[in-house]
Amino acid sequence: MGFSPRRAFFLCFFVVFASSIISIGSTVHHLVAEDPFSGGYLADKLRKMQSFKSTTTYFQRNSLSSAPTPSPSAASSPRVFLVTTYGADPTGKTDSTNALLRAISDACQSSSSSVDRFLADGIVNLGAAQINLEGGNYLISRPLQLPAVGLGNFMIHGGTLTASDDFRTDGYLIDLSDTSNSKLVYYYEFITLRDLLLDSNYRSGGIKVVNSLRTSIDNCYITHFNTNGIIAKGGHETYIRNSFLGQHITAGGDPGERNFSGTAINLIGNDNAVTDVVIFSAKIGIMVSGQANIFSGVHCYNMATGFGGTGIYLKLPGLTQTRIVNSYLDYTGIVAEDPVQLHISNCLFLGDAYVVLKSIKGIANRVNIVDNMFSGSNKGINIVKLDQSNGAFKEIERVVVDRNNVKGMNIKATVARASVQGNGSSWTADLSQILLFPDMIRHVQYTFSSTGNIFPNHALRIVKDNKLLIEANTAVPAATIFVLVDQ
């Protein structure tokens, strides 16, 4: 069979291509045979590398496994003390006093000298040690006290304490005071009492803080006290926040309100703050006998004023230095003895509640009662009253009662405005129903306006009993007198 030219071409191409492949394969085989990294030489190198890798891995593992581990004895002791591990009964059926005191004693031994320097002189830093009540209800027959004075940075939180039926009547469930006659400037510093319900069982008080510095009482519910819910005596900077206090548990309108007794908060010291606190039953909501305290966001609906109760009583004659702001006096008011530097503003007085300035030595000085709201029942009750049963106010300086929003009560102020219209030659402006202090006008401004062509001479002739007499030298058919006075 013959080959066509086309077939002959393809046959020659195939023979040349096959020869090239064979030649290349021979060359590659030759090169590989001579390559030092091929064959046995390459395998030997790989074995050496694997041996090195194994040695390195062993070294790394051996180094990790031989790292030093801390001994148990070197670990820090815990700062949270669980009271049930000391035998406290969280059901409240048996007395847990001793167990709780043991836990407190252990917590007070957990100090470290390395942190002592961060608190006041003589105060040992307990390193934020905590007594955790674990959400239990614990019956106690004696006050819970710290084992010694001079301690700080410590917390009790998270449970309920209930006084037993034989709890001492002059005691407090938690007592931060001194029984050793210490000479320390402050007994305790930075003690925190938080998330607690304290039931005094009508036997005792709730919390007692004496001569302490920077104490926090936060989110506590204190009830059934027969003396004080909280008393802070001496020291300063006791901060009471977000808490509820009441001798009897009620939401208002209690049928036994006339029989309420006790004081919810008693502050006998300086520089304290009561913020966002509700006082729902007691004869006196807050008693204050120390300077430079502030009350903000306080809602008092303890015993009503009509039953003899007081919301906030300022027993600091001569130097009050107290601020009451953004608070709610609900059917119970404020009493201030001889107030000096007192500021009451942005408060709501509901249910005929009012402010009383009580004379002890007749002093009222630098007092502001401004920008408040008063709401009453149209019984003719004054928003501010003077109690002069011990004598009249004689030293009155810079008292400002003004800009108050009043509904259903009588406005009282130290600034008054009035207008009088009529014909004739004399006009009388009576401001006695508005002005707070009797027979006292210090500054007068008036404007005389008449109609017609008559323009008489006129003058202020008499200022007496908070009344003004303005006279003209001739009669006018119609005139209007505008007056502005202050005390």
What is the pLDDT, as a whole number, of residue 111? 52
State pTM to two decimals: 0.82
What is the pLDDT, as a whole number, of residue 294? 98
CB atoms near residue 239 (< 10 Å): 16
Do 392 and 442 fall within a single domain? no
Do 368 and 454 fall within a single domain? no
Question: What pairing do the DSSP bridges indicate for beta strands 415-430 and 467-486?
Answer: antiparallel
The answer as to whether 230 is a domain residue is no
Provide, rounded to the nearest whole percent, the portion of the chain with pLDDT above 70: 82
Do 372 and 263 fall within a single domain? yes
Instruction: State whether the Cα torsion 248-249-255-257 is positive or negative.
Output: positive
Q: For residue 408, what are the domain limits? A: 255-412
For residue 436, give the nearest of 367, 384, 398 by alpha carbon: 384
Copy the structure tokens of residue 349.
Answer: 């007085």
pLDDT at 173 over 70: yes
Question: What pairing do the DSSP bridges indicate for beta strands 299-300 and 328-330?
Answer: parallel
Residues 163-172: pLDDT tens digits? Answer: 999 999 999 9
Q: Which of 351, 384, 412 finishes a domain?
A: 412
Kindly state the average pLDDT of the residues 344-349: 99
The answer as to whether 54 is a domain residue is no
Question: What is the H or E stretch that residue 400 is in?
Answer: strand 395-402
Residue of higher predicted confidence among 208 and 74: 208
User: Residue 112 CA to chain centroid, in angstroms?
Assistant: 30
Copy the structure tokens of residue 4.
Answer: 């066509």
What is the C-alpha separation between 389 and 383, in angstroms, rounded?
Answer: 19
The average confidence (pLDDT) of the chain is 87
When pLDDT is cut at 50, 70 and 90, the band that residue 77 belongs to is: low
What is the C-alpha separation between 273 and 236, in angstroms, rounded?
Answer: 10
Residue of higher predicted confidence among 174 and 59: 174
pLDDT at 62 over 60: no
For residue 354, give the nearest of 387, 317, 323 by alpha carbon: 387
Residue 372 to residues 229, 287, 302, 375, Cα–Cα distance (Å) = 28, 21, 20, 10
What is the pLDDT, as a whole number, of residue 110? 58
Residues 88-139: pLDDT tens digits? Answer: 999 999 999 999 999 999 999 855 554 546 788 889 999 999 999 999 999 9
Question: What pairing do the DSSP bridges indicate for beta strands 467-486 and 443-450?
Answer: antiparallel
pLDDT at 355 over 50: yes
Residues 6+ apart with CB under 8 A from 108: 126, 129, 146, 147, 148, 151, 154
What is the C-alpha separation between 100 and 89, in angstroms, rounded?
Answer: 10
Q: Is 306 left (phi over 0), alpha (psi -120 to 50) or beta?
A: alpha
Tally of domains in the chain: 3
Q: Which CATH number covers residue 149?
A: 2.160.20.10
Residues belonging to the chain:
487
Residues 408-437: pLDDT tens digits? Answer: 999 999 999 999 999 989 999 999 999 999
What is the pLDDT, as a whole number, of residue 366? 98
Do 379 and 473 fall within a single domain? no
